[in-house]
Structure 1
């Protein structure tokens, strides 16, 4: 393995934490004897192009510095290659790093862990989801593909210019609650029959959480070759308000309106609903996703 490591940096992650986090992470890697190259793109497309060039050139590892969006962008460059991925998690959500058991908002510790993992070849193969169909076709994801109430909150929050940070999405959730109604879904698990269900949301989990620790697919693990699919049924607004806070503990899965399925492939269709994966928009349903076992090598704790 080459001693040159690429830091893939989102300078705006976590309200500017990304730019500051690169320095202690790089220092920890250099102290361990690695040569560090920092890569910052002019927008997502340029950043991904540069990351792929680094992977093609044989970088020893691609280490994403930022939040889930940056980790998700890095996945597009390293999936199904031999290049390991490291994560310096300093964003708002950090759910992929959380699923991997990596340090959160401690770039020096995360940098030291990455260096130790590289020196001892402590590398773990984990699954990824891959999306087919829609504008998101061909996209890899590490955590959760969301659709329904949660994706509508994302849609609204992304359109809001004020306030900043997570509070914006709290306000978006309140606004969506006032107007939301369950929608008719058509779901096919693997090659089984089509399930028709009125649902509040359908979440497809490669990892267990999204939104900064909301354990929507609490039983999902990263290396079992299967998605956990959480379907929240036709809840009233009152029921949703009562159940939704339980998602942080994962105890919502016990509610009678919630069902969980496990599948290696899923197709989801619903009118006027968008999909999001790793917090990034995929476009409108229908979408199909499949779990690809061992699709990425990650630097493990």
Structure 2
């Protein structure tokens, strides 16, 4: 393993600075295991991205330490390259890590999982590419690994990000505060190159992992490596019904409701027919204003992890008959 070189990118702001401390610990443990580690963390995502891109071609893997936003930053850096993405969950939400079944708030367990994966065959997962429409171009390539939130869920995410610590609590609080003034949004959609359709919906989410909001399992059957995304819409629920809907999402018991529709897609363009500006959120971070296009990039990211937990398999039994 001495020939392996790993880049380490810790978000200094994640979990009120805890991710930075976890990053130092993980780097120490990797070095003890004989791995060459180069710390490319920076005071901002822009600086970290630049540092990572300078050394990317020399890396075996890029290990990111932080929350979902840090994970998507790592995906943007390594997508389409041979560099594998390792994840040490150390943020406030950690929803993508939850979807993969990775150890949460356990640096030693996370490091053991990374070392194990380095000796295993390469695993690839899908990414979601987000493209702004018209003149509203994005400053760099925008990728997500978990979800793109396009409705009430995006507004709740925005409010939660402005709140204090404790992602699950602040997300629930933001939901309750956003609900009284919310009305369904008038969307137009073009799905997989088809004709434009209109939809009035409360929730509109494009998922690869299907988990967001501190453990909401919006699409329990979602897979991160199947080459398709799930477009989820919720329509026809009043405020009182919507209030009862979200606890069921945490339990994953909402999928039988008539108000919910989940359809597989590869590309969707979404806009609003009239009214307010709405900014999409992806993996907990603000992205483009609508209209936007999002599409799946099958197998775009080489993941440094074992997907058996995400698939409900027993490790080591993949392909067993």
**TM-score, structure 2 normalization:** 0.87
- SS of match in other structure, 1:223: coil
Alpha-carbon separation, structure 1, partners of 2:248 and 2:92: 20
Does the 8 Å contact 2:62/2:85 carry over to 1? yes
Counterpart selection for 1:212 from 201, 214, 222: 214
Does the 8 Å contact 2:59/2:83 carry over to 1? yes
Does the 8 Å contact 1:24/1:111 carry over to 2? no
Alpha-carbon separation, structure 2, partners of 1:113 and 1:235: 42
TM-superposed deviation, 1:186: 1.1
1:151 and 2:150 matched: no
- SS of match in other structure, 2:217: coil
Alpha-carbon separation, structure 2, partners of 1:260 and 1:297: 27
For 1:92, the equivalent position in structure 2 comes to 92
For 1:44, the equivalent position in structure 2 comes to 45
Unaligned runs of 5+ in 1: none
Alpha-carbon separation, structure 1, partners of 2:214 and 2:162: 20
Alpha-carbon separation, structure 2, partners of 1:157 and 1:93: 11
For 1:237, the equivalent position in structure 2 comes to 239
- SS of match in other structure, 1:55: helix
Farther-moved stretch of structure 1 (13-22 vs 288-297) = 13-22
Alpha-carbon separation, structure 1, partners of 2:150 and 2:237: 15
1:129 and 2:128 matched: yes
- Structure-to-structure mapping, 1:71-86, within 5 angstroms: 71-86=71-86
TM-superposed deviation, 1:12: 2.4
For 1:262, the equivalent position in structure 2 comes to 264
Aligned length: 297
Unaligned runs of 5+ in 2: 307-321
Alpha-carbon displacement from aligned partner over 1:129-181 (angstroms, at most 9, x marks no partner): 10111455731110000011111112223344xx4332333332222111000
Q: Which runs of 4+ in 1 moved over 6 A?
A: none
Farther-moved stretch of structure 1 (77-86 vs 35-44) = 35-44
For 2:312, the equivalent position in structure 1 comes to none
Counterpart selection for 1:297 from 299, 302, 309: 302
Aligned-CA RMSD value: 1.7
**TM-score, structure 1 normalization:** 0.93
